[in-house]
Amino acid sequence: MCYQVRIGIWEAGAYGVSESRKHAFIWAASPEETPPEWPEPMHVFAGPELKMSLNGKNHFTTIRSTSTGAPFHAITVRDTIGDLPAVKNGASTTTMEYNDEPVSWLQKKIRGDTLALTDHISKEMNELNLIRCQRIPRRPGADWRDLPDQKVWAWEASSAI
């Protein structure tokens, strides 16, 4: 069909999303059209460049790293939801007031003029998953890979809650 095809993989964090997630995009255009350029990533994000190869020879960068600089700082999970009140395991209150003022420009924008939060609920986790979540270190970037390499027995789970 002679279409032009442009393939790109973008790191969501470099575009202002508060997570590390890669998205693949495929743009196609007829031969007489000029496909648009990819948008420039605007946020500093510490992910590596992602490179692809075709036929094992031609290498090209699909994600340009912004770890060395970009117009805006990275948006963190704290910037996005750090103002939300804590909820307990299995909480199901559908409306609750904010406990604090928003601390980031994004929280102010998301909140707008509202004083109450709706549907801030938590799925009830089983004991083992609750223990796992509690053992993830409380520091930026920590996730399940930072869990200690140890077994948790049922009697430990019930005493740790």
Helices assigned H by DSSP within the chain: 77-81, 105-111, 127-135, 154-160
What's this model's pTM, rounded to 2 decimal places? Answer: 0.67
Give tens-digit pLDDT for 19-31.
888 888 888 999 9
For β-strands 116-118 and 95-97, DSSP reports them as antiparallel
pLDDT at 43: 92
Domains of the chain: 4-63 (no CATH), 77-160 (3.90.120.10)
Residue 158 has pLDDT above 80, yes or no: no
